Amino acid sequence: MLSYILRRLVSALPTLFVVVTLSFFLIRLAPGGPFDLEQPLEAKVMENLNRIYKLDRPLIEQYWLYLSHLATGDFGPSFYARDFTVAELLSRGLPVSITIGGLALLLALVIGIALGTIAAFRQNHAADYSVMVFATFGITIPTFVVAPVLQIVFGLVLAWLPVGGWNNGHVRNLVLPVVALALPQIAVVARMIRASMIEALRSNHIRTLRSLGLPRSTIALHALRGAMLPVVSYMGPAAAALLTGSVVIETIFGLPGVGRYFVEGALNRDYTLVMGTVVMVAVFVLVFNLIVDILYALLDPRVRYDT
C-alpha cells in the first residue's frame, strides 16, 4: 500500500507540472498587467516596477524562474498586496477556509448519510419524499440566496448569531457560513446515498442479514459500506473545493479565506497570487483523489492496488 501511495504521488507530479504551465501562460495571455491603474503610472516608474518584479524578462525566462522558485517552495511576492508574499497570504487565509470547509464537509457527510439512509429504508413513504424534496431544494437554491436569508433570519430577526465576520473563529461566527456552505452538499450526499442504498438493500448479502433478523442499525451499517462508494468518489473533488474556500460564502459573510484570492488575483492580474492559488487547489485535488482511491480499496475488497 505504501509503495502504491508513493507511486501515485510521483505520478501526480507531471499533472501538477502541466497545470502550472497551462495556467502560467493562460494568465500571461490575458490583456493588462498587475500595475495597470486607472491613471497610468509614469513610464519610468512602470519600467522600474517591471524590472524589480522581473516582468521585463522574456516570458520563457520568467516561466523558468517561477518554476525553479516553486520547486524550492517559494511562491514569490504578491503583486497587488505589495507588503505580503503569496505564501503569507495563503497561510493566513487557508486556516479560515479549511475550518469552514472542513466543518461543512463533516456536516454534509453526517447529515447527508443519515438522511439518505432514512429515505432508502422508507422508500416511497412520507419520510422519503420529504428528504427528496429537501434535497432538490438544497441543490437548486443558489448559495447566494440561502446565505442572505440565513443572515436575515438568524442574524437580524432572531438575533441569535452574528451576521458575519471571522472573530478568530468563534463558534458563533462559524455556524451560519458552515450551514450555508454545507446545505447543497448535504443535498447531493443524501440523494446519492439514497440511490445507492436502495440498490444495496436489494443485494443478496443484505437479504441474508435481514432473514437472520438482525436489527436495522446493523443492516444499515453493512449496506452503507457498499453504498458509500459513489459518495466517496464524488466527495474527493468536492472536499478539495470546500477546503480551498468558497468565493460566495467568504464574500457574503466577510471571511478572510483563500476563496476570494482567485477572483481578486485574476482580476488584478496578480500573477503570483493566481499561480499560488492554482497550485494550492491542484495539490488539494490530487491529494484528495489519492485519498479517494485508498478509501475505495478499504471499502471495496475487490479493488486492489498491490500490483
Which residues bind to other proteins, rule: CB under 8 A? 15-16, 18-19, 22-23, 26-27, 29-32, 136-137, 139-142, 144-145, 147-149, 152, 156, 237, 244, 247-248, 251-252, 262-263, 266-267, 274, 277-278, 281-282, 285-286
In 3D space, the residue among 253, 143, 250, 127 whose CA is nearest the CA of residue 262 turns out to be 250
Q: Is 81 or 214 the residue whose CB approaches other proteins more closely?
A: 81
The least distance separating other proteins from the CB of residue 47, rounded to whole angstroms, comes to: 24
What is the closest distance, in whole angstroms, from the C-beta atom of residue 18 to other proteins in the complex? 5
Contact present, 104 and 182 (Cβ < 8 Å): yes
CB 168, min distance to other proteins, A: 27
- C-beta of 18 vs 221, nearer to other proteins: 18
Query: Which residues share a beta bridge with 85?
Result: 77
| Cβ proximity of 172 and 253 under 8 Å | no
Output 141 or 295, the one with its CB closest to other proteins.
Answer: 141
Work out how close the CB of 42 gets to other proteins at its nearest, in angstroms, rounded to a whole number. Answer: 26
CB of 209 to other proteins, least distance (A): 22
Closer CB to other proteins, 12 or 214, in the complex: 12
To the nearest whole angstrom, how small is the minimum distance from the Cβ of residue 113 to other proteins?
20
Indicate the residue among 95 and 142 with the shorter CB distance to other proteins.
142
- Record the cell numbers describing residue 200, joined without a space: 444495496
Q: Which is nearer to other proteins, 130 or 214 (CB)?
A: 130
175 or 248: whose CB is closer to other proteins?
248
CB of 273 to other proteins, least distance (A): 11
